[in-house]
Chains A and B, each alone.
Chain A
Amino acid sequence: MTEPAAVTNPGPRPDDPLSPLGQKPRPAGARDRLRAASGRLRGGDLGLLPVLAGLVVIWVVMQILDPLFLSSANLTNLALESVPVGVIALGVVCVLLVGQIDLSVGSISGLGAAVLAVLFVDRGLPAWLAVAVALALAGLIGWLYAQVHNRIGVPSFVITLGGLLGFLGVQLWILGPKGSINLPFDSGLVTFAQLHFLPPWLAYTLVAAGAVVLYATGAARASERRRAGLAAASRRLLAGRSLALLAGLGAAVWYLNRDRGVGWMFVFFLALVLALHYVLSRTAFGKSMYAVGGNLEAARRAGVNVKAVLTTAFVLCATLACVGGVLSAARLAAANQSSGGGDVNLNAIAAAVIGGTSLFGGRGTAFAALLGVLVIQSISSGLTLLNLDSAYRFMVTGGVLLLAVSLDAVARRSRVSHGRA
């Protein structure tokens, strides 16, 4: 019975040798990290591992089927092709994290492309102004979704399903009867998306700078933690991580430079990914996004402005969808009735989920969009090389999406059984 136990149990003392809180911190070496990672994995916290493994499998299979797949030329194209959908997927990650969904990202991207084309080509506005208007419009759409969700309480699934159809209509209406507007080939937007590549020296410099920054920030954090008496990563681990990044990205840049090199558009995408990663992992706002996705009521009671967080997520998603649409139009040098249509919508959502963002909310990272879109685009590019039409592409992509969602569900069950859900 509890009564005697409650009185006689002396309870844990701070100096209790069993209490890890009382332990002296020691530097976490690579082996500790590895052990912790394998523990997390078994507990169903899969992180980015499945998508990385999937990417390797797809690349190996495609290379066997078609030796051109891993050529510099194809990979250069692959990198550029993945940017528009990748940027849209980045927005989808934001709404999925707060436990919502936006099914209209394709329509919004198409609308953004149409608005850009009409203002830039038909009305003769400067490109930057046309882009700014398109982005502002998309932001307004996201804000509208959030208001309907926050004030009326309609599930985002339904709101954005309405938006999917409604904004496709607006796109067709804006484009008018001719239905297609070509962007001039010599405009900055088109050359940015098609022709501008980093000079090799700049690409290598950026890679080196990235490695140095990674090491410097890691070392600064580690020494700050050590000063405060907390466990911190060892210098060797940090150096190893930086060297791995240097070697990996350096080799990638070298390989791409055998063809045209690294496109500025891809660098732009990477910058967006890193910026979102910083916001999600290092700011109070990022934490509140995870909190809202994990337990909305708990977040509200903890004083998080839940409505503001949801609004920001919807606005971010719609704006990024529009950026994706603009980049897509620039890459195609045209905006037409099928801009943002077809498989764009589902590819973007699939990329976020395949990359490891949970449909149940509260789990995922910005890198999910990058890796997920690489998977989707690799399938698409490989099947195109094999001269298989979109029928096969849809089927394979659908299968991979189903696999990713099943993995998410299984991982969730595993988290529950390991007490981590």
Chain B
Amino acid sequence: MPADSPPSPHEGPGGPLLSLRGISKSFGAVAALTDVDLDVAAGRVVALVGDNGAGKSTLVKILSGVHRPDAGTIGFGAETVAITSPATAQRLGIATVFQDLALCENLNVVENLFLGRELRGLRLDEVGMEVRSRALLGELSAKIPSVRVPVAALSGGQRQTVAIARTLLGDPKVIILDEPTAALGVAQTAEVLNLIERLRERGLGVLMVSHNMADVRAVADTVAVLRLGRNNGVLDAAGTTASQLVAAITGAADNVVSRRAGRDRATADGTESAYGAGAAQQGEAS
């Protein structure tokens, strides 16, 4: 169980768990990623941000074994590894929750959690699976009405929780969340962000791809910015304003987002400038 791993609320003692160096990937003549570095440490949440086409999805697909990089090395723990397939990624302990979640809506929560890795002795150990499901969801403080309802009856946030809980059964060390709060309401977003904090408390390295500056600043420890397939800085989430983030993403301090934020500031007399920029960025992204 992942619960066995020691909780390390801050930087893990062994340096970065997952470290990418000089990753490049092109599709034909299009260079999707050029010489990208990225570090994810145990017990840390790294947000991966960037505008559309910045290479976030390509990077996630490389880490989850869907694509192979053209150049560069991936270090996992102390070793250099080659992630050749989704199965390799899972064996290493890199779990990815894609945006579509991939749940079977006609099956209930327990069946979804254990799909493809059912506990069985002589026959299916349904009691064991239900007990472990309840324990796991309890540890994540998940608000699931019952583990025996079909996933179709759950809200978007609850489904996200089930999808994340399912990856935890594989005892991963790094979890990659692809747009975990996209298409979620306010309360459900807060629920998922709480869940991400709980993953950090369990000592997992979390890489979160997001377009939402407010969410990024709420849970991330560091923010890695990609721009046009290249690194455009790694920022400390706590000491960065939303407008600085937007500047890093768009590549200029003077752009439509900041101009709009400035206009808001002028009318609202400087109150809640971060809020205005965050909202504007959200509007741009969606």
B194 on the interface (CB 8 Å rule)?
yes
B145 on the interface (CB 8 Å rule)?
yes
A5 on the interface (CB 8 Å rule)?
yes
- Taking a contact as CB atoms under 8 Å apart, the answer to whether A21 and B104 are in contact is no
Q: How far is the CA of A230 from the CA of B110 in the complex (A)?
A: 13
Q: Which residues of B contact A9 (CB under 8 A)?
A: 187, 190-191, 194
- Taking a contact as CB atoms under 8 Å apart, the answer to whether B131 and A287 are in contact is no
Q: How far is the CA of A20 from the CA of B153 in the complex (A)?
A: 15
B55 on the interface (CB 8 Å rule)?
no
Q: How far is the CA of A298 from the CA of B214 in the complex (A)?
A: 30
Closest-by-CB residue of A relative to B274 is: A3
The stretch from B19-27, B114-122, B201-209 touching chain A is B114-122
* Contact A304 to B152, CB < 8 A, known contacts A5-B187, A283-B124, A291-B107: no
Q: Which residues of B contact A290 (CB under 8 A)?
A: 104, 106-107, 111
- Taking a contact as CB atoms under 8 Å apart, the answer to whether B278 and A288 are in contact is no
A248 on the interface (CB 8 Å rule)?
no
Interface members, chain B 81-131 (any A CB < 8 Å): 86, 100-107, 111, 115-118, 120, 123-124, 127-128, 130-131
Nearest-neighbour CB distance to chain A for B151, whole angstroms, equals 9
- Taking a contact as CB atoms under 8 Å apart, the answer to whether B115 and A302 are in contact is yes
The stretch from B35-43, B134-142, B172-180, B250-258 touching chain A is B134-142
* Contact A228 to B138, CB < 8 A, known contacts A5-B186, A288-B116, A290-B106: no
Nearest-neighbour CB distance to chain A for B49, whole angstroms, equals 15
Q: How far is the CA of A362 from the CA of B106 in the complex (A)?
A: 7
* Contact A362 to B131, CB < 8 A, known contacts A9-B194, A302-B115, A304-B115: no
- Taking a contact as CB atoms under 8 Å apart, the answer to whether B153 and A6 are in contact is no
- Taking a contact as CB atoms under 8 Å apart, the answer to whether B131 and A228 are in contact is yes
Interface size on A, residues (CB 8 A): 47
Indicate with 1 or 0, residue by residue over A363-401, a CB within 8 angstroms of chain B CB atoms: 100000000000000000000000000000000000000
Q: Which residues of A contact B139 (CB under 8 A)?
A: 14
The stretch from B8-16, B68-76, B215-223, B233-241 touching chain A is B215-223
Q: Which residues of A contact B100 (CB under 8 A)?
A: 297
A229 on the interface (CB 8 Å rule)?
yes
Nearest-neighbour CB distance to chain A for B95, whole angstroms, equals 11
Closest-by-CB residue of A relative to B135 is: A21
* Contact A3 to B145, CB < 8 A, known contacts A14-B138, A295-B105, A299-B116: no
- Taking a contact as CB atoms under 8 Å apart, the answer to whether A13 and B104 are in contact is no
Closest-by-CB residue of B relative to A227 is: B127
Q: Which residues of A contact B59 (CB under 8 A)?
A: none
* Contact A229 to B124, CB < 8 A, known contacts A1-B279, A6-B193, A13-B141: no
With beta carbons under 8 angstroms apart, the residue of B105, B124, B142, B275 that contacts A21 is B142
Nearest-neighbour CB distance to chain A for B268, whole angstroms, equals 14
- Taking a contact as CB atoms under 8 Å apart, the answer to whether B191 and A230 are in contact is no
- Taking a contact as CB atoms under 8 Å apart, the answer to whether A2 and B127 are in contact is no
B144 on the interface (CB 8 Å rule)?
yes
Q: Which residues of B contact A42 (CB under 8 A)?
A: none
- Taking a contact as CB atoms under 8 Å apart, the answer to whether B115 and A287 are in contact is yes
Interface members, chain B 135-162 (any A CB < 8 Å): 137-139, 141-147, 150, 152-154
Nearest-neighbour CB distance to chain B for A229, whole angstroms, equals 7
Indicate with 1 or 0, residue by residue over A277-316, a CB within 8 angstroms of chain B CB atoms: 0000011100110110111011101111000000000000
Q: How far is the CA of A225 from the CA of B141 in the complex (A)?
A: 22
Q: How far is the CA of A299 from the CA of B143 in the complex (A)?
A: 25
* Contact-residue size bin, chain B (C-beta under 8 Å from the other chain): 35 or more
Interface members, chain A 201-237 (any B CB < 8 Å): 221, 224-225, 228-230
* Contact A6 to B189, CB < 8 A, known contacts A294-B105, A295-B103, A420-B150: yes
B212 on the interface (CB 8 Å rule)?
yes
- Taking a contact as CB atoms under 8 Å apart, the answer to whether A20 and B145 are in contact is yes
Q: How far is the CA of A181 from the CA of B34 in the complex (A)?
A: 74
Indicate with 1 or 0, residue by residue over A1-31, a CB within 8 angstroms of chain B CB atoms: 1110111010111101001111000000000
A196 on the interface (CB 8 Å rule)?
no
Q: Which residues of A contact B186 (CB under 8 A)?
A: 1-2, 5
Nearest-neighbour CB distance to chain B for A282, whole angstroms, equals 6
With beta carbons under 8 angstroms apart, the residue of B103, B106, B117, B134 that contacts A293 is B106
Q: How far is the CA of A291 from the CA of B114 in the complex (A)?
A: 11
A419 on the interface (CB 8 Å rule)?
yes
- Taking a contact as CB atoms under 8 Å apart, the answer to whether A421 and B137 are in contact is no
Closest-by-CB residue of B relative to A296 is: B104
Nearest-neighbour CB distance to chain A for B129, whole angstroms, equals 10
A260 on the interface (CB 8 Å rule)?
no
Q: Which residues of A contact B138 (CB under 8 A)?
A: 14, 21-22
- Taking a contact as CB atoms under 8 Å apart, the answer to whether B127 and A230 are in contact is yes
Closest-by-CB residue of B relative to A225 is: B127
Q: Which residues of B contact A20 (CB under 8 A)?
A: 144-146
A415 on the interface (CB 8 Å rule)?
yes
Q: Which residues of B contact A301 (CB under 8 A)?
A: 86, 102
Closest-by-CB residue of A relative to B163 is: A298
Q: How far is the CA of A283 from the CA of B123 in the complex (A)?
A: 7
- Taking a contact as CB atoms under 8 Å apart, the answer to whether A294 and B104 are in contact is yes
* Contact A299 to B141, CB < 8 A, known contacts A2-B212, A230-B130, A287-B118: no
Q: How far is the CA of A293 from the CA of B143 in the complex (A)?
A: 27
Indicate with 1 or 0, residue by residue over A347-366, a CB within 8 angstroms of chain B CB atoms: 00000000000000011000
Nearest-neighbour CB distance to chain A for B188, whole angstroms, equals 10
- Taking a contact as CB atoms under 8 Å apart, the answer to whether A287 and B107 are in contact is yes
Q: How far is the CA of A301 from the CA of B275 in the complex (A)?
A: 38
Q: Which residues of B contact A43 (CB under 8 A)?
A: 153
Q: Which residues of A contact B215 (CB under 8 A)?
A: 2-3, 6
Q: How far is the CA of A1 from the CA of B194 in the complex (A)?
A: 16
Nearest-neighbour CB distance to chain B for A225, whole angstroms, equals 5
Indicate with 1 or 0, residue by residue over B265-277, a CB within 8 angstroms of chain A CB atoms: 0000000001100
A20-B145, A295-B103 are known; give 19 further A-B pairs, CB within 8 A: A1-B275, A2-B189, A9-B187, A43-B153, A228-B128, A284-B118, A284-B120, A287-B107, A287-B118, A290-B111, A294-B106, A294-B107, A299-B115, A302-B102, A303-B116, A415-B152, A419-B153, A419-B154, A420-B152
Offer 20 A-B interface pairs, CB within 8 angstroms, sorted by A.
A1-B278, A2-B214, A3-B214, A3-B217, A5-B187, A6-B219, A7-B218, A14-B138, A16-B143, A224-B127, A228-B131, A230-B130, A288-B115, A290-B111, A295-B103, A295-B105, A295-B106, A303-B115, A415-B152, A418-B153
The 4 A-B residue pairs with the shortest CB-CB distance, nearest first, are A303-B116, A294-B106, A302-B116, A298-B102
